[in-house]
Structure 1
Amino acid sequence: MPRKRAAGFDNQRDLIIEQAATLFARNGFPGTSMNEVAEACGLSKASLYHYMSDKYQLLMFICEGHIERLCALVDEVAQQDLAPEPRLRLMVQRFVEEYADAQNEHRVLTEDVRFLKEEDQQRIFAGERKVVGAMAQAMIGVRPELDASKMAKPLTMLLFGMINWMFMWLKPDGELTHERMAMVVSDLLFGGIGAVRLEDIGQAEEGKKIRQE
């Protein structure tokens, strides 16, 4: 018969994951010890191992948890019956809000996923592809010709480029809030999206070859 978890087990584990994400984001996965995680959580090392089998499991919890939340966000928006522009604006807003509270997790996912085993990496990458694909489809909903031009994904990656690293310069106590910046990102996106040229990629490559000859 499996041993029942004590009351508060999940809360304590969540705290450990949060503290580990902070340390991994600051010092990197290789540069952080389980002793440091235990100290940050106010636990003995023995108590820490009651909740986590090792540091690798901690990294998995951080990366998987972050991706699962982003996938849930995508599903939540998809369930709403919205016109293309409001749908894309809502996705931008929700991603900015999520990243505002998950700065450490995002940095760990970006920088430390390489330390996971191949099969674990592939699960994480599958989640990332779902997120990118959903945003690309939202882009296509606004401008359908993006699909045939194969520009939906590049534009999506440019959009994520605006969102993903906002935490590096946006001050939490500054005049600009994440809510406000979500609107700025959407306004910038919609103000410029119509000006992006959708020349055929094959023609562009052929022109490049001609110029090089």
Structure 2
Amino acid sequence: MARTRADDFEDKQRHILIQAASVFAEQGMEKASMSAIATASGVSKSLLYHYYPNKDALIFEIIRSHLEDLDRDIEKADQPDLDTENRLKHLVRAVLENYKDADDLHKVQLNAGPLLSDEQKSEITALERRIVRRFSTILKEINPNLENPEKPLLMPVTMSLFGMMNWVYMWFRDGGPVTRENYADLATQLILEGAKSVK
């Protein structure tokens, strides 16, 4: 008989993912053991294996769920009725708000590429492209010249924006003189001024 799913299955899964990301961020993905993750999560090793058959599956699920949460938050924040500049600002704010308290999840996403299977990489890449496309579509509306086939700059500009967002965890501290919203607006303005000036 198949084992029935507990009512708190998803809550336990999420707790394990958060704790596992913390262990991976502290110890590195090669050194971190399933035993250490089970201890940090407050579950038995057998229960951990019930949720995730191996470390690779756990790493993949951390990244997949993190990106799906991010994509969902961006979709909720999108307001197509706004002018493009304010629409972009809302999306950037959504990304940086999503990244709050998610530094460990983000580090796993940025560093786990070599540990994923080709199939896993393909699924993660599809999620990443969908997220990037939400931004590149708006930037193209702001300046159609970015997609000039003789000088295709839409992707470089879009990824420059992601560079500003994705590496914010390296220096940003909540409670400092600049809020997440302040920085979101600054990053948006820098990209907008640069994107609009491209010929």
**1:125 maps onto 2:142 in alignment:** no
The alignment's C-alpha RMSD in Å is: 1.8
**Aligned counterpart, 1:173:** 175
Deviation at residue 79 of structure 1 after TM alignment: 6.2
Q: Report whether the alignment pairs 1:33 with 2:33.
A: yes
Query: C-alpha offsets along residues 46-69 of structure 1, whole Å, 9 cap, x if unaligned?
Result: 232233222122111101111212
CA contact (8 A) 1:28 1:112 kept: no
**Radius of gyration: which is bigger?**
1
In 2, the alpha carbon distance for the partners of 1:165 and 1:78 equals 22
**Equivalents in 1 of 2:126, 2:7: separation in Å?**
33
Give matches, 1:178-197, under 5 Å.
Answer: 178-196=180-198
CA separation in 2, counterparts of 1:80 and 1:193? 20
Maintained 8 Å contact 2:78/2:91: no
Deviation of 1:27 (Å)? 2.1
Q: Distance in 1 between matches of 2:83 and 2:177?
A: 31
Q: What is the rounded CA distance, in whole Å, between the counterparts of 1:78 and 1:43 in structure 2?
A: 38
Q: Offset of 1:118 from its aligned partner?
A: 0.6
Runs (4+) of structure 1 exceeding 4 A deviation are none
Partner of 1:210: none
Structure 1 residue runs without a partner (length 5+): 199-213
What do residues 128-180 of structure 1 show as CA deviations (whole Å, max 9, x unaligned)?
A: 11112221111011112212241111001111111111111111232222122
CA distance in 1, matches of 2:43, 2:134: 40
TM-score by length of 2: 0.90
Q: Letter of the aligned partner of 2:181 in structure 1?
A: E
Contact 2:78 2:90 survives alignment (8 Å): no
Secondary structure at the residue paired with 1:5?
coil
Q: Is the 8 A contact 1:19 1:41 kept in 2?
A: yes
Q: Which amino acid aligns with 1:176?
A: V
Q: Which amino acid aligns with 2:29?
A: F
In structure 2, the residue matched to 1:101 is: 101
Which residues of 2 match residues 1-213 of structure 1 at below 5 A?
2-78=2-78, 80-148=80-148, 149-196=151-198, 198=199
DSSP 3-state at the match of 2:175: coil
| CA deviation string 1:90-149 (max 9, x = no partner) | 111111111223221111111112201111111111111111222111101111221224
SS in structure 1 of the partner of residue 112 of structure 2: helix
CA displacement at 1:182 relative to structure 2: 0.8
In the alignment, the residues of structure 2 paired with residue 67 and residue 27 of structure 1 have an alpha-carbon distance, to the nearest angstrom, of 22
Taking the aligned partners of 2:152 and 2:133, their CA distance within structure 1 comes to 13
1:24 is displaced (CA, Å) by 1.3
**CA–CA distance in structure 2, aligned partners of residues 39 and 55 of structure 1:** 14
Tell me by how many angstroms 1:76 deviates: 3.0
- Structure 2: gaps spanning 5 or more residues: none
